Amino acid sequence: MKPFPRHRSCPSVISALRLRHVITAAVVAALVSFAPRCGPIAFAWQGATVDAPADETQQAPDGDPFSGEPIEADPFGAIDDDPSDDAAVEAGEPDAVADGEGGVATARRVKRPPPRNRPLPIDMNIDRKVPIPLVAPFHMGREIAQTMHYTGAPWLVRESRQREEDCRLMLEALGVQPGQTVCDMGAGNGFYTLELARMVGPEGLVYAVDIQPQMLQMLSRRAAQEGLTNIRLVLGSPIDPRLPAGEIDLVLCVDVYHEFSHPEAMLARIRESLSDEGQLVLVEFRGEDPAVPIKPLHKMTKAQVRAELEPAGFRVAREFDRLPWQHLLFFASEAR
């Protein structure tokens, strides 16, 4: 078989084609440079559309303050800074929209998306000049458990938790009143924080304290989704929860105290934060009960709790023994 014959190109044809490409490229460049002034431009050939480039003076949203990865400027949707616009729409006031026929404007109602709340701010102003003592593996003969990592947060909101712990009964037993100032110590991703915020109402306040900023970030977004604004997110340290002195009516520690790496320092700061009638409430899995399916490292007996809190200036005010797996112990501060 003979090979296909090679065709000789005509120099004039090649020059014409090159000139056409040069002209086309110049036209496209001119249109794109003009785009910021005239919006999206639809080209006649091939149906192509080129959007106007973004304003170079507009800054990109900051990255995640903890991982440095990019995040949306508003993860819950656009913020409507002018609620009067929404009121006008709800009232039926029309917006003028050109219908494209002779340039005559027709009126139609435009439904805007409802405004969303931004994530709550996180107080991260820890004094990093204060040294943190080395962690002792044991405290008064009890091995200190390691803090749950933030990657385990889904376990805190598992579907079976109500059945296993009867969370509603525990919340009722707390006796939280509207208008109180309470603290969810070791708040995690906010399983109890959100409920406490509803219980104290808009006149009350909940301090949500955790030593992992990632947990507080999850809680911030959940609170925004629920529209709760009476929560203050505080990044604590292993030796200081950074609570205001003499203002907290109830400090709740649910499965948290046994993970304090520096329990004496934390108890001292918590005691300083309590109001005159304030109480520290501990919820811990029962160490006396082998039927409770929790590792012994994450359980405590009543005797252990008393032995550690009484020397720190606390006394048992009352006990609640109706939870399925946990102790519920209320401690008042001894006279200072």
- Report how many domains make up the chain: 2
Angle at which helix 213-226 crosses helix 193-200, to 10 degrees, equals 50
Do 151 and 45 fall within a single domain? Answer: no
Do 132 and 49 fall within a single domain? Answer: no
Lowest mean pLDDT among 57-66, 128-137, 284-293, 307-316: 57-66
d(CA 281, CA 185): 10
Asked, for residue 180, whether it belongs to a domain, the answer is yes
Average pLDDT of the segment spanning 150-166: 94
Lowest mean pLDDT among 13-22, 143-152, 185-194: 13-22
Asked, for residue 273, whether it belongs to a domain, the answer is yes
Do 31 and 132 fall within a single domain? Answer: no
Q: Which domain holds residue 163?
A: 122-333
Asked, for residue 252, whether it belongs to a domain, the answer is yes
- Amino acid, res. 276: D
d(CA 187, CA 234): 10
pLDDT for residue 20: 62
pLDDT for residue 117: 79
d(CA 219, CA 231): 10
Please determine, for residue 318, whether its predicted confidence score (pLDDT) is greater than 90: yes
The tokens for 78 are: 């656009």
Do 242 and 320 fall within a single domain? Answer: yes
Do 38 and 141 fall within a single domain? Answer: no
Asked, for residue 135, whether it belongs to a domain, the answer is yes
Do 141 and 266 fall within a single domain? Answer: yes
Do 43 and 131 fall within a single domain? Answer: no
Average pLDDT of the segment spanning 280-309: 97
Asked, for residue 105, whether it belongs to a domain, the answer is no
- Amino acid, res. 219: L
Do 48 and 157 fall within a single domain? Answer: no
Residue with tokens 């002195």: 245
Helix, strand, coil tally for the chain in percent (to 5): 30, 20, 45
Do 48 and 168 fall within a single domain? Answer: no
Do 132 and 48 fall within a single domain? Answer: no
Please determine, for residue 1, whether its predicted confidence score (pLDDT) is greater than 60: no
More confident residue, 180 or 68: 180
Asked, for residue 45, whether it belongs to a domain, the answer is yes
pLDDT for residue 109: 52
The tokens for 233 are: 């997110």
d(CA 264, CA 135): 12
Q: How far is CA 272 from the centre of its chain?
A: 28
More confident residue, 39 or 244: 244
pLDDT for residue 335: 76
Do 36 and 175 fall within a single domain? Answer: no
Asked, for residue 234, whether it belongs to a domain, the answer is yes
Do 47 and 143 fall within a single domain? Answer: no
Please determine, for residue 86, whether its predicted confidence score (pLDDT) is greater than 60: no
pLDDT for residue 11: 47
Cβ-based neighbour number of residue 11 at 10 Å: 8
Task: Read off the CATH number of the domain in which 221 is found.
Answer: 3.40.50.150
Asked, for residue 115, whether it belongs to a domain, the answer is no
